[in-house]
Amino acid sequence: MNLKNLTADRLVSLYANRDLTVTEVITSVFDEIDRSDGSIRAFISLCRERALEEARRTDSRIAAGEPLNALSGVPVAIKDNMNVRDVPTTCGSKILENYIPPYTATAVERLRTAGAIVIGKTNMDEFAMGSSTENSGYFVTRNPHDLERVPGGSSGGSAASVAAGMSLIALGSDTGGSIRQPASFCGVVGMKPTYGRVSRYGLVAYASSLDQIGPFTKSVRECAQVLETICGFDHYDSTSADTPVDSFVKHLDQPMKDIRIGIPREYFVAGMDPDVKANIESAIRRYESMGCKIEDIRLPHTEHAVATYYLIATAEASSNLARYDGVRYGLRVGGAGGLSEMYRKTRMAGFGKEVKRRILLGTYALSAGYYDAYYLKALKVRTLILQDFEKAFEKVNIILTPTTPTPAFRIGEKTADPLSMYLSDIFTITCNLSGLPGISLPCGKSSANLPIGMQLISNHFQEAMLLQVAHNFEKAGGFGNVSL
Amino acid sequence: MKISEADVEYVAKLANLEVHDDEKKELAEQLSRIVEHVEELNTLDVSNVLPTYQVVSNTKIAIREDRALPRTGSSEAGKTIKLFKVPKVITER
């Protein structure tokens, strides 16, 4: 059974026709993991027994003639910063190595209610801090398209699991591009919804005003299905949006009318890979041929986004990560010298280099004498970035950009220079700063046969239109399921 | 602005982190480079701009009725973990 060419909607119809059993599919998922994950290393932990048990239960319900749900028997991989009750949540960090959460994240719970089966937890940059999954406290995940290259990050394990056919769908989280960038590098669809759309309850916090959960899939249709399932108000998250969730799937096949696509000049910078540029330009022409109006727009504060992001994200992180002190979550080191010694020794032993660097930067930006100059200033520039988008959306309803300036880079290429790694997020972080939804979908391949991703952005809560525009491109171009 | 090894030590103390002596130099250099980069924000005049702390709209939870709601998990946690034992905080003089 080749899961690389199978989509969730097709799978559910095969179950409904009794052409396949859930047990067969889940068994073959773990066979594929046994075959491929030794070299890719997408998973931190597997839920083999539990998943097979759920598969058997689903099969007997189908045999009894019960109706199937939208995601019945669909295998899903979960980034290891979302809680699944009784399964370890490590967040890619040694400091949470032995943490077993007593509850399940709302987004995961909603997928399971729709019938999805959790098969395992995926590798990530520690506390979602990174763009390559090289910063995991456990091991490096490799890109299924080229094992010498990174899968992107921080949700690299989730992206790689879907691209390699080790899972059909996956959840990731996106604070500065951590879903869209690995989706682009691995040739799959990845989406960050509007801030507040998906509950963050049960998601380990990195930068709370930027974090958002979203799906990885092979097609836009599956993305719409997963998103429709996990979106919606949740009283366990104080920033959850009380906005009605339309049927994103039903909206997909409606004809595109009056779509005006803005191309921001600032996103076509020097240093962009020529293959990326060529593929994005051809995507623009394709939309034009489908009757969309293409307009030049300006987002003049784009060049300040990386600086703004790294001040706000690290400041919030330094506060969020203060809770890992050796008292409640697994790891504890020292203690003979008293409580503060235990805090320091535990945090020193449990956190990796990048996490310590970001905590230090965030603490510095918030410290007396520097708060106004760094943190407050960044919050004000955030307003300017948001206003750029407000102005742009008066003219257009979709913004089209490359997801990343280059295809997947080599393992080790950017680890020595943290700043160069940060700058690779330039095209994705503006969505997080402004809370806008963004989707990355495959739009071609480079001369080295690496996937290239295109990013589409819409105004807040316009996911239905965003998915529809993405779906129309996929249908016209056939770039979905970029095969390995 | 250049971050010195002493700055690293001071901020590490504020953040409850211990930094090895051999890490201090590298961290000071890396943080200096990052701080020099973020200082490009000083080219912007933001004196009349309000800060954006959170881009959230349509939230209702902040003004919900003030009563306790059941929380998934907390009762299970309570069954297994009664108290967290920590090292002695108060010492005799």
Instruction: Give per-residue pLDDT as tens, A124-134.
Output: 999 999 999 99
The stretch A136-147 carries a mean pLDDT of 98
* Cross-chain Cβ contact A307/B56 below 8 Å: no
Which amino acid type is present at position A4? K
- The whole-number pLDDT of residue B87 equals 87
Task: Map out the domains of chain A as residue ranges.
Answer: 3-257
Q: Is the Cβ of B70 closer than 8 Å to some Cβ of chain A?
A: no
Q: Are A119 and A47 in contact (CB under 8 A)?
A: yes
State the average pLDDT for chain A: 95
* Confidence band of A420 (pLDDT split at 50, 70, 90): confident
Q: Is A23 in contact with A55 (CB distance < 8 Å)?
A: yes
- Residue B40: list chain A partners with CB under 8 A: 304, 307
* Catalytic positions of A: 79, 154, 178
Q: What distance in Å separates the CA atoms of residue A200 and residue A235, rounded to the nearest whole number?
A: 11
**Is residue A85 very low, low, confident or very high in pLDDT (cuts 50, 70, 90)?**
very high
CB-nearest to B34 from A310, A328, A359 is A310
- The whole-number average pLDDT for the span A322-339 is 88
Reported confidence tier of residue A37, pLDDT bands at 50, 70, 90: very high
Q: Best of A364, A385, A422 to disrupt the B interface by mutation (most B CBs within 10 Å)?
A: A364
**Predicted pLDDT of residue A376:** 96
Average pLDDT estimate for A313-322: 97
Higher model confidence: residue A228 or residue B2? A228
* Whether the predicted pLDDT of A114 surpasses 90: yes
The matching CATH number, chosen from 3.30.590.20, 3.40.50.720, 3.90.1300.10, 3.90.550.10, for A3-257 is: 3.90.1300.10
Q: Quick one: pLDDT at residue A484?
A: 45
Q: Percent of chain A having pLDDT more than 70?
A: 99
> Which domains are present in chain B?
1-42 (1.10.20)
Query: B38, B66, B71: best mutation site toward chain A, by most A Cβ within 10 Å?
Result: B38
Q: Which of A102-106, A174-178, A433-437 is the least confident region?
A: A102-106
Chain A residues close to B56, C-beta within 8 Å: 195-196, 239, 241, 435
User: Which position has the token pair 């760094």?
Assistant: A374
Each residue's pLDDT tens digit, B35-70: 999 999 999 999 999 999 988 766 666 667 788 877
* Whole-number pLDDT of residue B57: 65
Does B53 reach chain A within 8 Å, measured CB to CB? yes
Q: For residues A96-105, give the mean pLDDT.
A: 92
What's the confidence (pLDDT) of residue A174? 98
pLDDT tens digits along A346-399: 999 999 999 999 999 999 999 988 999 999 999 999 999 999 999 999 999 999
* Confidence at residue B61, expressed as pLDDT on a 0 to 100 scale: 63
Does the structure show a pLDDT above 80 at A29? yes
Q: Is the pLDDT of residue A451 over 50?
A: yes
Cβ–Cβ contact B90 with A under 8 A? no
Which chain B residue is nearest to residue A345, measuring alpha carbons?
B18
Which pLDDT tens digit goes with each residue over B7-34? Answer: 999 999 999 999 988 889 999 999 999 9
**3-state SS class at A439:** strand
Greater confidence, A271 or A432?
Answer: A432
Tell me which residue of A145, A168, A125 sits closest to A9, measured CA to CA.
A168
**Read out DSSP for A133-202?**
S-S-SS----BTTBTTB---SSSHHHHHHHHTTS-SEEEEEESSSTTHHHHHHHTSEEEE--TTSB--TT
Q: Report the complex ipTM.
A: 0.89
Residue B48: DSSP 8-state: T
Count the Cβ atoms, other than its own, within 10 Å of residue A316: 22
Residue B44 contacts A, CB cutoff 8 Å = yes
Q: Which residues of B touch A378 (CB under 8 A)?
A: 38, 41
**Residue B80 pLDDT:** 62
